[in-house]
Amino acid sequence: MEPSLMANQLTEVTIHTNQIPSSQILPPHTLPANHYKLQQLPTSYSILQNSSPSTRDPVNSTILLYPASDSNLSLPELLNETIPSNDINPVNIKSIRGNGLAVTLHTENEVDKLKLIIEENVTLKSAITSKIPSKRNPSIILYNLPSFLNEDEIPQALKFQHNLDFPLNPSFNFRGSSSNLRNWVFEAPAQILNSIKQTNKILIGWGMYRLSEFFHIKRCNFCQAFGHTTKECTLQVPSCGTCAGHHLTSNCQSSLKYCVNCYESNLYTGTDHQNYHSAKDRSCPFFQAAIQHYRTTRDYI
Ligand SMILES: [Zn+2]
Ligand SMILES: [Zn+2]
Ligand SMILES: [Zn+2]
């Protein structure tokens, strides 16, 4: 997995100010009209409003179904015969180990409904074992490790310096601040995460490297909405992540920071967010909402 954007890649610090001369405030016509269409898509607002499919927590709304241990039957076949899928309307169905199925529904209530149907049906009850999947662990990120490091050195350094009983397995790595540097992401149980976060740095070989908690957050670099990636974006015209204008963030020449997500929220939903920050600013309420939402999907206990 190579996520298009991860929260911890952002190192930008924005100074907020309400004292921007009015001549510098963008007139509304310079703001990206195309972005308004995002209201029908999973946008940042929907995260705040907790009403769109993008807010569905795939962990909480998924149920794992397995054939009972002495059974040889195919679950799809059995389910086809007993529950019309239209009654349940799953969002996704995946085959999983043990001839099982991971069924993702729209809400936790629908998960409960499916569980109840299985329990109340004599045939299904004896043939199917259901299980709610446990949440994944949170993640940490080690920044800008030189590519010459041996891949085994990194988990070993974490293990020894933090007295772990076992080395953590890396989840993935991606380009750091230059082409010969990589950022490494590991999942770690919450207690280990908390202990590692105390120091925020790690010695590997003759280098000291920064680490912090990593948030798996999707934000589109094209339209700046949270909840989808640039690849998944359906818009034709970009919105700048710095000034909210109609251009790619990389082409921005504005010295003014203006958040398109807060702007649209104020315009369309009557909120009163302070706008003078970039869409990548961690203090943006939409960024904070995305982090909060992500946190509900991981095991922090
Ligand atoms: Zn987009
Ligand atoms: Zn711009
Ligand atoms: Zn904002």
CB atoms within 10 A of CB 57: 15
**Residue 38 forms part of a structural domain:** no
Q: Which residues surround ligand 3, an ion (CB under 5 A)?
A: 259, 261-262, 284
Residue 33 three-state SS = helix
**Residue 282 forms part of a structural domain:** yes
Q: Are residues 152 and 202 in the same domain?
A: yes
Give strand ranges (E) for 43-166: 62-67, 92-96, 100-104, 128-131, 139-146
Supply 209's token pair.
């490297």
Residue 275 three-state SS = coil
Q: What is the pLDDT of residues 278-301, one digit of tens each?
A: 999 999 999 999 999 999 889 998
Round to whole Å and give the CA distance between 81 and 104. 20
**Residue 113 forms part of a structural domain:** yes
Among 188, 214, 240, give the residue marking a domain's end.
214
Ligand nearest to the CA of 288: 3
Lowest mean pLDDT: which of 123-132, 203-212, 234-243, 246-255?
123-132
Q: Are residues 168 and 208 in the same domain?
A: yes
Distance of CA 182 to the CA centre of its chain: 20
Among 184, 214, 244, give the residue marking a domain's end.
214
Q: What is the pLDDT of residues 179-196, one digit of tens each?
A: 999 999 999 999 899 988
Angle of helix 285-296 relative to helix 260-269, nearest 10 degrees? 90
* CATH number of residue 104's parent domain: 3.30.70
Q: What separation in Å is there between the alpha carbon of 270 and the centre of ligand 3? A: 14
Residue 124 belongs to what domain range?
A: 61-131
Q: Which residues contact 51 (CB under 8 A, 6 or more apart)?
A: none
Q: Are residues 274 and 246 in the same domain?
A: yes
Among 153, 179, 214, give the residue marking a domain's end.
214
pLDDT of residue 71: 62
- Enter the DSSP assignment of 167: P
Q: What separation in Å is there between the alpha carbon of 145 and the centre of ligand 2? A: 31
Ligand nearest to the CA of 240: 2
pLDDT of residue 44: 45
pLDDT-based confidence at 68, cuts 50/70/90? confident
Rg of the Cα atoms in the chain: 23
When divided into structural domains, the chain yields a total of: 3
Q: Are residues 210 and 147 in the same domain?
A: yes
Round to whole Å and give the CA distance between 16 and 96. 48
